[in-house]
Amino acid sequence: MSGQGENGGEDDDLAAAWGAALEEEGAQPEPEAAPPPDATRVLNQAEIDSLLGFEGGGGGAAEESGIQKIISSGLVSYERLPMLEIVFDRLVRLMSTTLRNFTSDNVEVSIDGIVSLRFADYLNSIPLPAMLGVAHVKQWDNYGLVVVDSALIYSVVDVLLGGRRGTAAMRIEGRPYTTIERTLVERLIGVVLEDVTSAFEPLCPVKFEFDRLEVNPRFAAISRPSNACVLVRLRVDMEDRGGKLELLLPYATLEPVRELLLQQFMGEKFGRDSIWETHLAEELRSTEIALDVVLDEQLLPLSTVLDLKVGDRISLGVAPGAPVRLRCGDIPMFEGELGRQEQRLAVRIAREFGRARRMEA
């Protein structure tokens, strides 16, 4: 009994402690609700910079966010032309050979990238001084652009005029290009355009002809500023010399051969398969079909047909020797004469119905 009393006292003490704790929690005031956001609050400069994607105070580039993402999503997404990449890859191999013969030097040509952009954006990004060769594509009734940067201009001039190997070409900026430099660059662009013609030759017959040479991008406007273009950047290395050469083709120029450039491989035909067509034609020719010989056709009431019994006769309104029709389903095919061959009935085909008559049937 004494043990139970002691345990009962401890339980009473615990219950009293729990009750006091609950009363203290209930006495605590409830947290105040958050004030509603102020719809008229003005953003500070830091919040505006964060929204526009600018990094405040730092020198590094901020991640694309906010308004920049909205603007980027509004840009036109141009389609990818798989065959054009194959053409440019073929162009690189051709240029590596022809420029070696042209300069009598070890020349390596590589692709830095193929991008799609607007024509005005490209003209504004051309590093000056540079030479811009305008090419006319007569078969497509449009133009292209070949841009040679300053480093490649002086390198080609140095190589063609007998400069020593192993030394970088001397670049003299701040003066217009001389007649000799323009003439040598025109020859270089002519060689490049011949290679572009050869690169497109397996795809379609076309010829890129040199039209004129410009040094001011404003005079090389071959397309509207907002038009889409394909730009391939080529790197030309001649030991310690070299530079960049860029080929620009507006999408309007490539429109006549757009279907060919959408191919995944050379000679692909969309919607047609000659092997399958030949196999299907052979199988159709060996297919068995049923020909019905129609002596006569009559329209009878349903009651008459229901009253027919075994032994009843249906008279055909056809005279002996009258022509009969041969049909495949509901389509009339031939007209012939009914006769007998040994112990079997036979039909001799007299004429064939034309395609128009079959379509009417």
* 291-321 pLDDT, tens digit each: 888 877 888 888 888 888 898 888 877 777 7
CATH of the structural domain 288-360, one choice from 2.40.30.10, 2.30.330.10, 2.40.160.20, 2.10.10.90: 2.30.330.10
Mean pLDDT value across residues 163-184: 73
**Strand partners for 335:** 325, 351
pLDDT (tens digit per residue) in 215-249: 888 888 888 888 888 889 999 988 778 889 999 99
Q: Is the sign of the CA dihedral 20, 21, 26, 30 positive or negative?
A: positive
| In the predicted structure, residue 121 carries a pLDDT above the cut 50 | yes
Q: 2-16, 123-137, 332-346: lowest mean pLDDT where? A: 2-16
pLDDT > 60? residue 210: yes
Phi-psi label, residue 53: left if phi above 0, alpha if psi -120 to 50, beta otherwise: left
Q: 82-261 domain in CATH 3.40.50.300? A: no
Indicate the range of 8-12, 74-78, 155-159, 184-188 predicted with least confidence: 74-78
Model pTM above 0.95: no
pLDDT above 50 (res 60): no
Least confident of 67-71, 125-129, 317-321, 339-343: 67-71
Q: Please give the angle made by the CA atoms of 12, 18 and 24, to the nearest 5 degrees.
A: 135
Domain ranges of the chain: 82-261, 288-360
d(CA 131, CA 121): 18
Whether pLDDT at 74 is above 70? no
Maximum Cα–Cα distance across the chain: 133
Hey, what are 328's tokens?
A: 């495949």
Classified as helix, coil or strand, 120 is helix
pLDDT band at 254 (very low <50, low <70, confident <90, very high): confident
Contacts of 116 (CB under 8 A, 6+ apart): 78, 228, 229, 230, 231
pLDDT, mean of residues 66-91: 68
